[in-house]
Structure 1
Amino acid sequence: MEGKLIFTSTALAALSIFFLLSLKLQASNELGNYTRIEIWGPVGPESLALDSMGRGPYTGVSDGRILRWEGATWADFAITSPHWRKECNGSSDTSLEDTCGRPLGVQFNMATGDLYIADAYYGLVAVGPEGGLATQLATEAEGEPFCLTNGVDINQENGDVYFTDSSTVFQRRDAMWAILSGEKTGRLMKYDPKSKEVSVLLRGLAFANGVALSQNSTFLLVAETATSRILRFWLQGPKAGTLELFAQLPGLPDNIKRNSRGEFWVALNVQTGLLPKWGLLNSWVRKAILMLPWKYEILRLAVPEHGVAMRFSEEGEILEVLEDNNDGETLNSISEVEESNGTLWIGSVVMPYVGLFKR
């Protein structure tokens, strides 16, 4: 199904950005309740999920493993690659990712206990409640192979799985170039566990990333990282099949997670400064940066490392902003916020720890 993009809230989005930039919750007020749960060896606990018994969180890391937090230590739970070998253990070498696997988005089907995983190289996979080697469920849609499987969410009523493929051109190790190049091959898809079929809901997205289903299952939110937008795709009702702007953001959105109240946490991996904003909007600037031998240095200088966590209502109203004012020590390159019983679990695609806020 193709979605027709409807921009109906431009003025509201601009006002929201102004409000966001003026609203800052000082990190120093929260530090007393903030701790880090270190992960020794691999890095990048990108996405987090708790099972139906409240255990966890579970998270995928750079060496292809799924780990489970057991209150005092991390325990091995699963792997996503059938080619995983001892050289993978503890690795953060991106050249090994296509061998070891790189799990990104994770979400449980609470009824079955199955953990669904979007692995950047092995597609949509799932593993049962006992863990072990994940089963590969889908690697392509409509004859087009996945190249960077990324975000995932589940309809807990019928088991439908919604997930994204960020690009059909670039793999995860080249994700920044996918964003800077301006290419739009990202897709939002649905996997039906009964028929085992994949259908494409949206295509032509500029680095499709996190995805979250609304509490009443009437719409999906999907992060379009390269444009700093959250888009809403209607599944039911009079707007079914249409796409609209949900939020224009002052940074690059990663994952989206819904809390028990039906609100959405959006993790902005970085705030975009003037150079990234200018570069993303101008194709000749993007091409020029990609041709420079010192392009990595430019990106490191241009993009601030600290992130922002934003909580939205179902209507797109900004309810809360957590911004790091501690030189990146608290919200450093965050990728996801998972809220459970007043606790915020904070993921990152590059850091060797999971952040923990207790309210």
Structure 2
Amino acid sequence: MDRRTPLVPLRYITLPGHGPEDVVADPRGRVLTGVADGRILRIDGLDDPPAARVEHIAEIGGRPLGLELLPDGDLLVCCAEGALLRVDPDGGTGNVRVLTESAAGERLRFCSNVVALPDGTVYFTVSSQVHPLRDWMGDLVEHTGTGRLLRLEPGAREAEVALEGLQFANGLARGADGSFLIVAETGARRLTRYQLTGPRAGRAEPLVEQLPGFPDNLWRGAPDGPVWVALAYAAGKIKKQDGREPDPIVLV
């Protein structure tokens, strides 16, 4: 692939808010995202950015981070203040429901990203058990290793700990064959594979290490497509030895 050629045309949409984090697209091509003041927004008409329509569909009362669209149209939302939520985008007032606020008998802190499996099981990450979102840099500096991957079974009110000891667990994506999850460990500059099926189910191993930046969100555009890795660069832009910027990271 020629990295000098844009993969898709760039279009810029002005939002009535700050800090859009995760983005997902519904079957009609509308994009949903959360902004810093707690609103969930839905953008329609992306083919014509100046005329794009932005709709305020929910208010979660906290900072929305990771999003996951469910087959029935509902939206899973990670609230950074410590809750996993379910939002009905067309439900009007009262369309936000708390799925869980605890794991292993402890209150949740810093929920980050979420993936739903076909059987209704939900996995989501907690970046830190020490620092809240506003002090995220402190977790990276201290290298606390208190990030977790949590599992919420259908109908359960409390999550289980699937994996702990992670360095700022962040983005989350499912493998193309559904046999594993990929967890972005921002503080370790690596991607970790968590096995869901087979003889190694429940075990984790490094998938990619020494990334040229800090992995944040992960995204798979199609069930059998590649996983895109968003990298944040510290102290300006990281350069290769030849002075060029790193290539985008794509996992097949």
Quote how far apart the aligned CAs of 1:154 are. 1.0
Instruction: Choose which of 143, 154, 157 in structure 1 pairs with 2:105.
Output: 143
Task: Tell me what 1:50 maps to.
Answer: 25
Task: Tell me what 2:84 maps to.
Answer: 124
Within 1, Cα distance between the matches of 2:127 and 2:63?
Answer: 14
Task: Tell me what 1:310 maps to.
Answer: 249
Greater RCO (Cα-Cα under 8 Å, separation 6 or more)? 1
Task: Tell me what 1:113 maps to.
Answer: 73
Instruction: Choose which of 55, 67, 90 in structure 2 pairs with 1:75.
Output: 55
* Aligned partners of 1:222 and 1:232 also within 8 Å: yes
Paired positions, count: 236
1:37 paired to 2:13: yes
Within 1, Cα distance between the matches of 2:192 and 2:34?
Answer: 26
Report the AA paired with residue 310 of structure 1. I
Task: Tell me what 1:201 maps to.
Answer: 162
Task: Tell me what 1:341 maps to.
Answer: none
Give the SS at the match of 1:223: strand
Cα distance change of structure 1 residues 59 and 208 upon mapping to structure 2, 3 Å threshold: same
Quote how far apart the aligned CAs of 1:74 are. 1.1
Task: Tell me what 2:227 maps to.
Answer: 264
Superposed counterparts of 1:198-237, under 5 Å:
198-237=159-198
* Aligned partners of 1:228 and 1:252 also within 8 Å: yes
What per-residue deviation string (whole Å, max 9, x for no partner) do you get for residues 159-218 of structure 1?
A: 211101101111111111111111011100111232344111001111000111123221
User: Which ranges in structure 2 are unaligned for 5 or more consecutive residues?
Assistant: 46-51, 239-244
Within 2, Cα distance between the matches of 1:244 and 1:65?
Answer: 36
- Structure 1 stretches of 4+ with a deviation exceeding 6 A read 305-308
* Aligned partners of 1:148 and 1:168 also within 8 Å: yes
Report the AA paired with residue 139 of structure 1. E
Cα distance change of structure 1 residues 102 and 239 upon mapping to structure 2, 3 Å threshold: same
Within 1, Cα distance between the matches of 2:3 and 2:21?
Answer: 23
Quote how far apart the aligned CAs of 1:122 are. 4.0
1:191 paired to 2:152: yes
Cα distance change of structure 1 residues 163 and 207 upon mapping to structure 2, 3 Å threshold: same
Cα distance change of structure 1 residues 229 and 184 upon mapping to structure 2, 3 Å threshold: same
* Aligned partners of 2:195 and 2:202 also within 8 Å: yes
More helix by share: 1
Within 2, Cα distance between the matches of 1:24 and 1:184?
Answer: 37
User: Which ranges in structure 1 are unaligned for 5 or more consecutive residues?
Assistant: 1-22, 82-100, 273-301, 314-359
Task: Tell me what 1:343 maps to.
Answer: none
Within 2, Cα distance between the matches of 1:253 and 1:307?
Answer: 13
Give the SS at the match of 2:191: strand
Within 1, Cα distance between the matches of 2:168 and 2:2?
Answer: 28
- Over aligned residue pairs, what C-alpha RMSD do you find? 2.1
Quote how far apart the aligned CAs of 1:311 are. 1.3
Quote how far apart the aligned CAs of 1:267 are. 0.6
Task: Tell me what 1:61 maps to.
Answer: 35
Report the AA paired with residue 79 of structure 1. E
Within 2, Cα distance between the matches of 1:268 and 1:307?
Answer: 10
Within 1, Cα distance between the matches of 2:83 and 2:112?
Answer: 9
* Aligned partners of 1:267 and 1:307 also within 8 Å: no
* Aligned partners of 1:80 and 1:122 also within 8 Å: no
- Identity among equivalent positions (%) equals 38
Within 2, Cα distance between the matches of 1:218 and 1:169?
Answer: 31
Within 2, Cα distance between the matches of 1:265 and 1:178?
Answer: 24
